[in-house]
Structure 1
């Protein structure tokens, strides 16, 4: 009876966790492995099972999210294909750097410092940019125009037309994808938190399209990774199934929210999520350096807590916007 109770509690926990990550994934296009994998490790699952099950969950969630974003017309297939090729090549190069650092005994420290620095800088910049643009008096007038990205001025042919953005040089797209891939392979992450700002700020792609395109790219990479781990028995379906059941609902909520929350809102939530991740990794590294195991738990609490707060803010603002639109419709029909 006690075993049954524990099993039921785990089932409810995994379903609820799946809803939470599904909302974040559908809204930001970030894979859920950065939450699932450390949580499973803290719960006592072997690292191989934690990583493999996390990848399998990301693959299943990304399929749900990609289909939903496709129905909303928020996926640029050309950009997703080009990014997948270049990011994959970059990841292999990044792994080579990691192996070199491991042979020198510097991998853990260098990667953790780089991860905290990159997450913190990108998150702080996105928050700053979103707050600055929301205060711009001309922002509303510019919403309907294509906003040029940082690399739009490089007119090296052939040029690739992008959804909702100016055309960008093919070589620029491949180079950016390669750099993101190197960083992703070096840091051991999927690269979603790098690809989304790269497409928004580098190419001028609208935030909603950047999210949808990012999710499609993650679908491919997550599928390959989960297949490889499944071959070695690293995927536990008793974990993945309830997570996917919850994320099926969460991903639909998060994806729908991208069409309700304005672009600056998406950016600022994304930035806050990255800053929370940077703080969590920094706390974990301090714990590892000084042998304080309790800080590993504190790190997990920080990142899960920030995820709960951000996903709650996404849902709250979406519901508020829906109510606002209904009031406007009632007033216009009166």
Structure 2
């Protein structure tokens, strides 16, 4: 039986994968969308289709998440527009690089190797921060409009803010940053977006905090606002070249629509620090999965493709399950806390 031109089994797989990613997206403000492209590559889709369909999925999912953060006042529209300008140029450059590498027959391998080092590096950093109990860049969902105290601003961001290269831009959170630094961060993340087929949130959100010094809640909301446009522009550019497969995108979006609601609801009852280590491990899982796939391709071991896909899905399932489990645990503890006597 086929629906949308794909088998029922594949349709179920895409919907389930979209559900897991939606939970991650709603909970972290940045999701497992960066896992979609390598998963499609592992399944044998052409690089152009994998990247373009990944961007189209990012666009659809980010629209819902951005509306939620807008209602919470966590979007800096001035910063968002500047990020869009820089990201648009970066995406176009990234797309041209992919198309050129595809003509040379190198796109799949180079994109995969980039994923290995990028996800692996970030995964190690996030896991290390979680295990040592540092503040990291966890999102405080109740502090949308809070200014950062000087002690809360990362040292690197303080250094960057000290370079007063005009024109200077005043941003929410009581900070002032050079326009050129904002555009530089936007271009770099846009380049990754167009090259890897990701929204860039798992890179851009930390960059807004660690490099520019934007308060984390505003960084998350503004990042999602920007992803709407970068994902939309990127998917449009790839669609013009036949790189968007709706039989992939629609089932993923159907699953993520529900998952995003579950993840968003979890943010109000779960302490993100509890599962930060799982998020880091998920990134490491994605990195290892792509590495396994490349080793299989080099040495002609087809079973490694299956192992790689299991690792990718397993990583998303592990973290999504941790979110749901923590939510259920927190809900069970609430009645107990409410029943405990308190003294004035």
What's the secondary structure of 2:177's corresponding residue? strand
- Deviation larger for 213-222 or 179-188: 179-188
Match of 1:196 in 2: 205
- Tell me: CA distance 1:152–1:266, structure 2 relative to 1, closer, same or farther (3 Å): farther
CA contact (8 A) 1:208 1:263 kept: no
**1:301 deviation in Å?**
1.1
Match of 2:220 in 1: 211
2:261 pairs, out of 252, 261, 268, with 252
Match of 2:329 in 1: 320
In structure 1, list runs of 5 or more residues that go unmatched: none
**1:289 deviation in Å?**
1.6
Match of 1:310 in 2: 319
Match of 1:54 in 2: 54
CA contact (8 A) 2:55 2:198 kept: no
* Cα displacement string for residues 288-325 of structure 1 (whole angstroms, at most 9, x for unaligned residues): 22122221221121111011001111222233334444
Match of 1:117 in 2: 117
Match of 1:271 in 2: 280
Matches of 2:325 and 2:97, distance apart in 1: 42
- Mapped pair 1:148 → 2:157: no
Structure 2 counterparts to residues 237-248 of structure 1, below 5 A: 237-248=246-257
- Tell me: CA distance 1:331–1:94, structure 2 relative to 1, closer, same or farther (3 Å): same
**1:190 deviation in Å?**
3.4
- Deviation larger for 199-208 or 304-313: 199-208
Match of 2:302 in 1: 293
2:236 pairs, out of 227, 233, 248, with 227
* Cα displacement string for residues 147-201 of structure 1 (whole angstroms, at most 9, x for unaligned residues): 2132233231444444447443332222222233334445454322211221232
* Cα displacement string for residues 47-105 of structure 1 (whole angstroms, at most 9, x for unaligned residues): 65554443333221111111122223333323322222212223334456667777887
Match of 1:280 in 2: 289
- Deviation larger for 262-271 or 82-91: 262-271
- Mapped pair 1:170 → 2:179: yes
What's the secondary structure of 1:152's corresponding residue? helix
Matches of 1:3 and 1:121, distance apart in 2: 40
What's the secondary structure of 2:120's corresponding residue? helix
**1:217 deviation in Å?**
1.5
Matches of 2:189 and 2:128, distance apart in 1: 22
- Tell me: CA distance 1:78–1:33, structure 2 relative to 1, closer, same or farther (3 Å): same
TM-score by length of 1: 0.79
CA contact (8 A) 2:112 2:290 kept: yes
CA contact (8 A) 1:68 1:252 kept: no
Matches of 1:29 and 1:271, distance apart in 2: 15
Structure 2 counterparts to residues 176-187 of structure 1, below 5 A: 176-187=185-196
TM-score by length of 2: 0.77
Match of 2:85 in 1: 85
